[in-house]
């Protein structure tokens, strides 16, 4: 059996070489990163040093040497097996096709999540529309009063004859971002409570939005309220439903893990859910732009409604057909090449 000192002197040069490569890879300065030739040495050296480590362990060499080799293997392992991502390309592909395809793939949960949101919204909306006092069961008088003041046609014309100032648009943009996107993220996190947290947020928002809409419509604040919400409603409500979906996916992984262990099911489904909630967050970001800079503007209601309807149609088309077209065109290109 090779003595430890001989073993060390025979192989130390390789360890130093691997150490130098790994340290260079870890360097924050891109100019110090290893060039291509050195990089190609990494896998080979890594396998050799792994072998040395197991030799050192079985031969019972000293703990210091084993520790040194172990640290070296650990550091190289990080680079050998890191999950490489070109994030920009992936982001573009995700928005273009990955996200809508993912929503379609889980369309049942999309409709389930929609039901949790829209059914209470429509019901409370109808109640609040027919019964003027119904809304007082849901909100306190102060909230209702400020809501009414916000959308009172006489009031709003008086307060902002030229629409809001641009800086207060920015204020609302900041508010919409921090509030609405945070809600999306919390709905996602609520899935961890076996989905109950997500369902709670969906029901709660449905009750809130539905009752306010019904109440204000009954009061006759139609153009101010519906005109305001028309523009951003498509993105914002759909994003809320999709973040609800992401929470339901996590909840379902815990309730119904199938053939996997609960932990494995959770790990697997979380990777899907996180993509949905990121997509929802991006949609809400767009909604915040629209809400802050378009919805508050003074435009004829007809224009606001048609923009709103157009955006709903766009949202539908995006989610229903996004990512399909590129596949078929690839397919037809492929066929063309085949024929020629």
Q: How far is the CB of 293 from other proteins (least distance, A)?
A: 12
Q: How far is the CB of 296 from other proteins (least distance, A)?
A: 12
295/233 Cα distance (integer angstroms): 10
Contact 246, 276 (CB under 8 A): yes
Contact between 57 and other proteins per CB under 8 A: yes
Give the interface segment with other proteins, choosing from 123-131, 231-239, 275-283, 317-325 (CB under 8 A): 275-283
Residue from 12, 108, 137, 160 in contact with other proteins (CB under 8 A): 12
Q: Binding string, 154-183, against other proteins, x = CB under 8 A? A: -----------x-xx-xxxxxx-xxx-xx-
- Nearer Cβ to other proteins, position 28 or 142? 28
- Nearer Cβ to other proteins, position 34 or 136? 34
38/43 Cα distance (integer angstroms): 10
Place of tokens 């919204």: 121
198/180 Cα distance (integer angstroms): 15
DSSP label at residue 28: S
Give the interface segment with other proteins, choosing from 64-72, 104-112, 305-313, 329-337 (CB under 8 A): 64-72
Contact 242, 279 (CB under 8 A): yes
Q: Give the burial class of 261: count Cβ atoms within 10 A of its Cβ; 0-12 exposed, 13-18 middle, 19 or more buried.
A: exposed
Q: How far is the CB of 64 from other proteins (least distance, A)?
A: 5
**Interface with other proteins in residues 181-210 (CB under 8 A):** 181-182, 185-186, 188-190, 192-193, 197
Tokens (6 digits) for 149: 């003041």
Contact 91, 282 (CB under 8 A): no
Q: What are phi and psi of 161, to 5 degrees?
A: -65, -30
Q: Binding string, 65-104, against other proteins, x = CB under 8 A? A: x-xx-xx-xxx-xx--xxx-x-x-----------------
Name the nearest CA neighbour of 199 among 114, 102, 124, 100: 114
Contact between 266 and other proteins per CB under 8 A: yes
| HSE-up (13 A, CA, CB side) for residue 72 | 26
Q: How far is the CB of 33 from other proteins (least distance, A)?
A: 16
The separation between the first and the last C-alpha atoms of the chain, rounded to the nearest angstrom, is 66
Q: Please give the residue ranges that form the binding site for other proteins (CB under 8 A).
A: 3-6, 12, 15-16, 46-47, 50-51, 53-54, 57, 60, 62-65, 67-68, 70-71, 73-75, 77-78, 81-83, 85, 87, 165, 167-168, 170-175, 177-179, 181-182, 185-186, 188-190, 192-193, 197, 250, 263, 266-267, 270-271, 273-275, 277-278
């Amino acid at each position: 059996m090779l003595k430890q000192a001989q073993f060390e002197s025979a192989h130390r040069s390789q360890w130093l070489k691997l150490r130098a490569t790994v340290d260079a890879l870890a360097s924050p300065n891109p100019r110090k990163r290893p060039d291509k030739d050195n990089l190609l040495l990494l896998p080979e050296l890594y396998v050799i040093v792994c072998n040395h480590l197991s030799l050192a362990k079985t031969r019972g060499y000293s703990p210091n040497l084993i520790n040194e080799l172990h640290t070296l293997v650990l550091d190289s392992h990080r680079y050998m097996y890191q999950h490489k991502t070109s994030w920009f390309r992936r982001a573009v592909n995700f928005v273009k096709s990955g996200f809508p395809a993912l929503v379609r793939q889980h369309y049942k949960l999309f409709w389930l999540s929609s039901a949790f949101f829209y059914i209470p919204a429509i019901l409370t909306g109808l109640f609040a529309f027919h019964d003027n006092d119904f809304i007082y069961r849901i909100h306190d008088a102060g909230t209702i009063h400020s809501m009414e003041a916000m959308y009172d046609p006489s009031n709003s014309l008086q307060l902002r004859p030229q629409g809001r100032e641009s800086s207060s648009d920015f204020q609302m943009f900041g508010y919409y971002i921090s509030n609405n996107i945070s809600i999306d993220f919390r709905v996602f996190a609520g899935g961890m409570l076996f989905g109950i947290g997500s369902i709670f947020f969906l029901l709660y928002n449905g009750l809130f939005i539905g009752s306010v809409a019904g109440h204000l419509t009954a009061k006759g604040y139609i153009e101010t309220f519906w005109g305001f919400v028309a523009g951003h409603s498509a993105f914002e409500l759909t994003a809320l439903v999709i973040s609800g979906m992401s929470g339901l996916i996590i909840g379902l992984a815990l309730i119904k893990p199938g053939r996997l262990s609960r932990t494995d099911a959770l790990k697997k489904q979380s990777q899907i859910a996180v993509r949905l909630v990121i997509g929802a967050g991006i949609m809400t970001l767009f909604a915040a732009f629209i809400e802050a800079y378009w919805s508050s503007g003074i435009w004829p209601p007809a224009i606001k409604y048609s923009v709103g309807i157009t955006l709903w149609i766009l949202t539908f088309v995006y989610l229903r057909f996004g990512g399909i077209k590129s596949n078929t065109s690839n397919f037809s290109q492929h066929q063309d090449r085949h024929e020629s």
